[in-house]
Amino acid sequence: MVGRGIHLFSFAILAFSASKNEFDNGSEQTRCSLGGTVPLTATGLKTGQWQLSTPYGYTCSEGSITVTGLDLSERFTSNDSGCAGPFAIRPLAERLTLLGGGL
């Protein structure tokens, strides 16, 4: 099962994804992600020739790992992660653009 979507709003871009995988060895994984970007011009900030935005995201996943052999206990794993930071684009010439970002 997989679900995905990207929505473009006047103030931001929002993306989401969800999936559930079952593997041949009996292991399972469930994952969901939510993220997007907010252009700072949508907040009324004057940026000149710079296109500034704040990308962000969050992902969670969990699953069970099938254990074979002498260890008969079922193992479970999960993970949560997130990110946010600045991103900038500025045209320098007709065929040259500067990209930057980080945190």
The predicted pLDDT at position 27 comes to 85
User: What is the C-alpha separation between 41 and 56, in angstroms, rounded?
Assistant: 16
Which pLDDT tens digit goes with each residue over 48-96? 999 999 999 999 999 987 766 656 565 777 889 999 999 999 999 999 9
The predicted pLDDT at position 64 comes to 84
Distances (CA, A) of 51 to 13, 39, 68, 74, 80: 14, 7, 53, 49, 30
Residue 38 domain boundaries: 2-101
How many domains, in total, are found in the chain? 1
The predicted pLDDT at position 96 comes to 96
- As a whole number, mean pLDDT of residues 29-50 equals 91
User: What is the C-alpha separation between 52 and 38, in angstroms, rounded?
Assistant: 9
The predicted pLDDT at position 90 comes to 93
